[in-house]
Chain A
């Protein structure tokens, strides 16, 4: 039967002298510093370096900023192309009237976030929504839902502070990356598998990232992306362009809701090249898909139509190298200003 707590619960706080605790803790902290230093040194010696890691918390830090009053919030929605393509510092300098906010999520198309912003009556800003015909497929609508739900259900000032401190830790310590955790290392040792992937992304606290293709095999990534895209499209249920377009009706409604509040949604298709472009054109010909969608919304631009944007090399057919980011960002701002969508 159930039993009560025993008297031994009340261990004396005075038992054990303070000196022995001090000795124990000094030993512990010295050993911890030595252990962590050794592990950090080991991995750095193998060519790894620390970076900020994206998460629902980091995304929520930016999501919190969309209500800014002093400047017009300029939200960058999309997936990796805009996340790794826009230089936030350059954009801030070129557009002092605006507050650029990065809400794109690598490998996650943005419609769930767009819907959430449409539902948010307190949001009145501008959105640059980078999405292509593939990203508008019904199957991808909820990809960013986890981020949106986290923001609405769990995000608090307490987590904000936690994430700010975590940023500092991740920016300086390689061991803050779960890939180098003790459990992950043990698993690799047991499975006799390779060391962690040498990442060619440097991620920043503002959620933009730099891709350094000199640190990776761009040709292999190019083939991987093309194969993945082909595989994904082949695995999708077959539907006609009319059916695809019919699915997009709510998107126009969301955009109009934002516009009715004084905001604006610019649908933008980042340029892609080579095998990526070929795969998209084959599966979803522009004239039947993107162009028809573009005619249903107020503003839609395609980077392919803008020579100043389409001229940049894309080493993996999809993304810019970080060296080209500032110039690309200037070109993108020029295009948006030229179309009368932004003011310098």
Chain B
């Protein structure tokens, strides 16, 4: 079920009530696991079996890794879990993509091959829970901690409903104590948790769905018909939509967990105020970027083998990160663009720009704007349905001959979207170094009440058909 549905309101109210009514911690954990599985089964009940099977297998393999005394055995088990998890992910997510590309490759060699039409449904959240499981097994393999003997505790770590479907991707070390040491809802946790829930719903329902999505859809669904002004406003709109959609989900996840007494890591920290692309990735989808850094970039050798190898690793990490988002070359280009940005930035920082320039306020602000522009250009590739659409939109951005007339003729929906994005960017800059949870916690109750009232009223006053969160498809 979705956070922005009446079903979730009923579900969450029931979960909160029953969870706090149960006295024993063990029983409360069983209840949370059951609730999490009901939450997941609401999408597609048969895939719950896949989640349980995957969870059980990884829990068991982690113990085999820990019990293995020889390096060869440990390697064998870790390879086994990597193969199993990546095969399952590959089958559901990349079969069609691989077959299509194989057919295209054969086509270039003059061999006509039409792959069988696969009608594979992607199990929701599979990319996220696979990464949960992999990080757990890899950490056990690296000897960072001993595996849990409790299947229920491990299953709750993987399946905890606020983060099960679209993250944040939580490490076991961040959850272990929270699962093992009894906790319950507190007044403060409930207050802040519900506030984050409202913030998330505001970002998703009001900003992403009501303001940004229609303008972004107008551009990306019919790029041929768009002029330069719509290319700009649509790109602005998608820049706002993707953030508000995903950060909205993350806020809801953090809020729901906090209301139950659990703390999940923050996944976004004002990314549109980033100064530089490495700074952007410290602020955008933090749990994924840190996962890729710790388990992929460092696994590839990181920066331990010289500059060129480091650049290569950086590019590979971003390309694979792009492909993680979806089985399409447009995602690879998106990742590749960010890889190029990061490589150029690192080269300039280390070899060309003196430290004093890097600290100059005007330079930093200008570089912040450049970063935002680079990120926006890359979003075009993330959202476009194919190469030609992305290229067309990108070229229309620079078609200044029609821009002025297009701006004059632009509709109020476009103007609202552009102004809202600019306001969002200003908010990100104003609160660049502030933590949203601390901000809410320290705010005067009157001001907080007013802010909550505005957000909640706007949420209720933004009815519409429910849209799935964008990150569900990943």
Q: Which residues of A contact B (CB under 8 A)?
A: 1-5, 8-11, 13-32, 35-36, 39, 55-57, 156-159, 161-162, 165-166, 169, 175-178, 180-183, 186-187, 190-191
Please name all residues of chain A whose beta carbon is closer than 8 Å to the beta carbon of B247 when the two chains form the complex. Answer: none
Interface range on chain B (Cβ under 8 Å from partner): 35 or more
Q: B5 contacts which of A9, A18, A39, A158 (Cβ < 8 Å)?
A: A158
- CB atoms of A156 and B43 under 8 A apart: yes
- CB atoms of B194 and A181 under 8 A apart: no
- CB atoms of B449 and A187 under 8 A apart: no
Known: A3-B281, A156-B44. 17 other contacts (CB 8 A): A2-B292, A4-B293, A9-B266, A14-B186, A16-B191, A18-B191, A25-B452, A28-B453, A36-B460, A157-B42, A158-B42, A177-B463, A181-B461, A182-B458, A183-B206, A186-B416, A187-B416
Nearest-neighbor residue (CB-CB) of B461 within chain A: A182
CB distance from B260 to the nearest CB of A (A): 10
Bound-state CA distance A161–B461 (Å) is 21
- CB atoms of A11 and B278 under 8 A apart: no
Judged by a CB distance under 8 angstroms, whether B263 is at the interface is yes
CB distance from B362 to the nearest CB of A (A): 25
Contact bitstring B356-380, A, C-beta under 8 A = 1, else 0: 0000000000000000000000000
- A183/B187 contact (C-beta < 8 A), A1-B346, A11-B435 known: no
Q: A28 contacts which of B43, B412, B435, B449 (Cβ < 8 Å)?
A: B449
Judged by a CB distance under 8 angstroms, whether B399 is at the interface is no
- CB atoms of A158 and B413 under 8 A apart: no
- CB atoms of A23 and B449 under 8 A apart: yes
- A183/B211 contact (C-beta < 8 A), A4-B294, A22-B187 known: yes
- A24/B191 contact (C-beta < 8 A), A181-B464, A190-B415, A190-B416 known: yes
Bound-state CA distance A250–B148 (Å) is 60
Please name all residues of chain B whose beta carbon is closer than 8 Å to the beta carbon of A180 when the two chains form the complex. Answer: 461
CB distance from B200 to the nearest CB of A (A): 16
- CB atoms of B289 and A55 under 8 A apart: no
- CB atoms of B188 and A181 under 8 A apart: no
- CB atoms of A28 and B452 under 8 A apart: yes
Bound-state CA distance A18–B5 (Å) is 27
- CB atoms of B43 and A158 under 8 A apart: yes
Bound-state CA distance A14–B186 (Å) is 7
- A161/B458 contact (C-beta < 8 A), A24-B191, A181-B463 known: no
- CB atoms of B435 and A13 under 8 A apart: no
Nearest-neighbor residue (CB-CB) of B186 within chain A: A13
- 16 contacting pairs across A/B (C-beta < 8 A): A5-B265, A5-B286, A17-B187, A21-B188, A21-B190, A27-B446, A28-B450, A29-B456, A31-B450, A32-B460, A36-B461, A39-B461, A56-B465, A177-B463, A182-B462, A186-B416
Nearest-neighbor residue (CB-CB) of B293 within chain A: A2
Bound-state CA distance A228–B89 (Å) is 50
CB distance from A174 to the nearest CB of B (A): 10
CB distance from B135 to the nearest CB of A (A): 13
Q: Which 4 A-B pairs have the closest CB atoms?
A: A21-B191, A18-B187, A27-B449, A31-B453
Nearest-neighbor residue (CB-CB) of B6 within chain A: A165
- A11/B210 contact (C-beta < 8 A), A55-B465, A158-B5, A181-B464 known: no
Q: B449 contacts which of A8, A31, A162, A181 (Cβ < 8 Å)?
A: A31
Please name all residues of chain B whose beta carbon is closer than 8 Å to the beta carbon of A186 when the two chains form the complex. Answer: 412, 416
Task: Please tell me which stretch of B95-103, B136-144, B220-228, B437-445 contacts chain A, meaning at least 4 of its Cβ atoms lie within 8 angstroms of it.
Answer: B437-445
Mark out the residues of chain B between 1 and 47 whose CB falls within 8 Å of any chain A CB in the assembled complex.
1, 5-7, 10, 42-44
Instruction: Say what secondary structure dominates the interface of chain A.
Output: helix
- CB atoms of A162 and B461 under 8 A apart: no
CB distance from A131 to the nearest CB of B (A): 27
Please name all residues of chain B whose beta carbon is closer than 8 Å to the beta carbon of A9 when the two chains form the complex. Answer: 263, 265-266
Please name all residues of chain B whose beta carbon is closer than 8 Å to the beta carbon of A169 when the two chains form the complex. Answer: 6
Max chain B C-beta neighbours (<10 A), residue from A13, A18, A181, A186 = A13
Please name all residues of chain B whose beta carbon is closer than 8 Å to the beta carbon of A178 when the two chains form the complex. Answer: 463-464
- CB atoms of B445 and A20 under 8 A apart: yes
Max chain A C-beta neighbours (<10 A), residue from B188, B206, B263, B289 = B188
- CB atoms of B210 and A162 under 8 A apart: no
Bound-state CA distance A20–B440 (Å) is 11
- CB atoms of A10 and B460 under 8 A apart: no
- CB atoms of A13 and B188 under 8 A apart: yes
- CB atoms of B5 and A159 under 8 A apart: yes
- CB atoms of B441 and A15 under 8 A apart: yes
Please name all residues of chain A whose beta carbon is closer than 8 Å to the beta carbon of B460 when the two chains form the complex. Answer: 32, 36, 175
Please name all residues of chain B whose beta carbon is closer than 8 Å to the beta carbon of A25 when the two chains form the complex. Answer: 191, 194, 449, 452
- A187/B413 contact (C-beta < 8 A), A5-B290, A28-B449, A162-B5 known: yes
Q: B290 contacts which of A4, A14, A159, A177 (Cβ < 8 Å)?
A: A4
Max chain A C-beta neighbours (<10 A), residue from B193, B294, B412, B450 = B412
- A175/B191 contact (C-beta < 8 A), A5-B290, A35-B453, A159-B5 known: no
- CB atoms of B282 and A3 under 8 A apart: yes
Nearest-neighbor residue (CB-CB) of A180 within chain B: B461
Max chain B C-beta neighbours (<10 A), residue from A5, A10, A162 = A5
Judged by a CB distance under 8 angstroms, whether B218 is at the interface is no
Nearest-neighbor residue (CB-CB) of B188 within chain A: A16
CB distance from A128 to the nearest CB of B (A): 28
- A161/B6 contact (C-beta < 8 A), A28-B456, A187-B413, A187-B416 known: yes
Bound-state CA distance A67–B298 (Å) is 56
Judged by a CB distance under 8 angstroms, whether B256 is at the interface is no
Bound-state CA distance A161–B346 (Å) is 52
Nearest-neighbor residue (CB-CB) of B9 within chain A: A165
- CB atoms of A1 and B278 under 8 A apart: yes
Judged by a CB distance under 8 angstroms, whether B192 is at the interface is yes
- CB atoms of A159 and B461 under 8 A apart: no
Contact bitstring B300-337, A, C-beta under 8 A = 1, else 0: 00010000000000100100000000000000000000
- A10/B263 contact (C-beta < 8 A), A18-B188, A36-B460, A190-B416 known: yes
